[in-house]
Structure 1
């Protein structure tokens, strides 16, 4: 009875919309006034199987999600170790580290579009000042658009991962580090033998959550590039949004959503299984 209110909220706000989306995926529903739609079976999924543009966006989404998740973890780990050290103004540094997380995604996107501006952007200005080519159209070039967007994704998501890792670092007993140091372990050995094993459950959980959030990213990339140039940053969520709200094919877009959910759950299940198997090894 104590968990009934929370279970009810989950059912109403999460399970019911998910089931409704799955049901729509088997219809020819369209976003029109007075909609009339019928059951079409697996027709949407059959059509989706031959949609090369969707699968191309799916590959881009995997590259985006994996790259951002891994780089976020590496950068956040370094920052968390730094913020956990006994340094002056550590409290101020911890507050400043949260600034990207506190900014709305649309504001972040507009700010980075200004930074990446090929003519008046400060990034190109700095490159020109140090004698490097400073005329790159970062968000408009086929070769730089996706890396530029990935860099923004890492910058935005790093604070949350940093806070989580920092909380875990503060739970590691100092005596463990002292014992390792007495045994002759250097800084790198203490990190691999003490820090990482202590943080492994946290790393597993935050990496899983980050992968889901990054794969489902929409607003950041939409404001930055709208999927361009030439679809080089067209993430699956953007493709699904365009199909649903511009082409008005709600049933077809719902089928895309179902496929994305199944694939993400399968990838996460494989990742968690490998992590748990490694933890069970002596």
Structure 2
């Protein structure tokens, strides 16, 4: 009897709280949450709704705008725009390639930085340098590296007897791979830091137990490291995919979408349509399509990852 009374007492205390206390707590919670909600509404929800509304108009970027409702005309026009869908395919190749290569390179670097090596602290600081540099500065630096005439990359190739006159950013065959390499270099530090934090949370006893059972280095990596980091890998991969697909400044400074549209990412195509061709309504329709497609792909990826984690 006493056990039941003690066990049930917390529930009775919670139920018997004065109504004034509950109301005050709710008000305090609302006051604390309200600034964040207002920022989200003003900076995210409102622009999204405004862009969605513009997608159904013939709005143009002029001094005295006059536009009218055109229904789904922009989307119909967009469906027949082969250049936009070509840029979308390029954007998918860019986003998937950069995201996967970032993950592989960052995993290797994180494992290295997690090892007990000399000057490990200095190496961790140096690994963050690409992340700390502004994208415009990174783009200018890599344009100098890729320069076909005086770039250090071609000079290095020439010193070992390889062709040294490659126009990395001006050739149809090398422009996109060269830009992807820059994207991997820029985004790798963020992924490295995230994976390194996860590695430091894996109990060392787990590796010791696996080693005692006869597991080699690769087996310990696949059986211990990867399962332990799976939630982190899922989250950072999702964020990197969104970030890479929506990237603009890096490619704009490097190639401006050239040569011949070989690096024309969807966001760059949308920017040109909005601010050079001044077709705001049409560009808004492109943005809506991109948001829907990216959210759908990301939802499918997250669903598959969560489903895999639920399996025994």
Any idea what the Cα deviations from partners look like across 1:107-148, whole Å, max 9, x if unmatched? 000000000000000000000000001110000000000000
Report the 3-state secondary structure (helix = DSSP H, G, I; strand = E; otherwise coil) of the residue aligned with 2:63: coil
**How far off its partner does 1:34 sit?**
1.2
Counterpart pick for 2:87 among 57, 60, 82? 57
**How far off its partner does 1:4 sit?**
2.0
Any idea what the Cα deviations from partners look like across 1:205-235, whole Å, max 9, x if unmatched? 0000000000001000000000000000000
Output the CA distance in 1 between the equivalents of 2:143 and 2:217.
Answer: 40
Report the 3-state secondary structure (helix = DSSP H, G, I; strand = E; otherwise coil) of the residue aligned with 1:226: coil
Structure showing greater Rg: 2
Any idea what the Cα deviations from partners look like across 1:159-194, whole Å, max 9, x if unmatched? 000000000000111111111111111111110011
Match of 1:244 in 2: 274
**How far off its partner does 1:81 sit?**
0.2
Report the 3-state secondary structure (helix = DSSP H, G, I; strand = E; otherwise coil) of the residue aligned with 2:208: helix
Detail structure 1 runs of 4+ shifted over 2 Å in the superposition. Answer: none
**How far off its partner does 1:6 sit?**
0.8
Output the CA distance in 1 between the equivalents of 2:233 and 2:122.
Answer: 25
**How far off its partner does 1:95 sit?**
0.2
Report the 3-state secondary structure (helix = DSSP H, G, I; strand = E; otherwise coil) of the residue aligned with 2:32: coil
Match of 2:251 in 1: 221
**How far off its partner does 1:2 sit?**
2.7
Any idea what the Cα deviations from partners look like across 1:69-108, whole Å, max 9, x if unmatched? 0000000000000000000000000000000000000000
Determine if the alignment matches structure 1 residue 35 to structure 2 residue 65: yes
| Structure 1 gaps, min length 5 | none
**How far off its partner does 1:7 sit?**
1.3
Output the CA distance in 1 between the equivalents of 2:233 and 2:53.
Answer: 35
Output the CA distance in 2 between the equivalents of 1:91 and 1:239.
Answer: 42
**How far off its partner does 1:3 sit?**
1.8
Output the CA distance in 1 between the equivalents of 2:123 and 2:181.
Answer: 21
**How far off its partner does 1:8 sit?**
1.4
**How far off its partner does 1:276 sit?**
0.4
**How far off its partner does 1:41 sit?**
0.5
Determine if the alignment matches structure 1 residue 87 to structure 2 residue 117: yes
Output the CA distance in 2 between the equivalents of 1:47 and 1:28.
Answer: 12
Figure out how many residues of one structure are paired with residues of the other and give that number.
282
| Structure 2 gaps, min length 5 | 1-30
Aligned CA RMSD, in angstroms, stands at 0.5
Determine if the alignment matches structure 1 residue 183 to structure 2 residue 209: no
**How far off its partner does 1:67 sit?**
0.2
Output the CA distance in 2 between the equivalents of 1:85 and 1:7.
Answer: 42
> Which deviates the most, 223-232 or 7-16?
7-16
Any idea what the Cα deviations from partners look like across 1:19-51, whole Å, max 9, x if unmatched? 100000000000001101111110000000000
Output the CA distance in 1 between the equivalents of 2:262 and 2:141.
Answer: 21
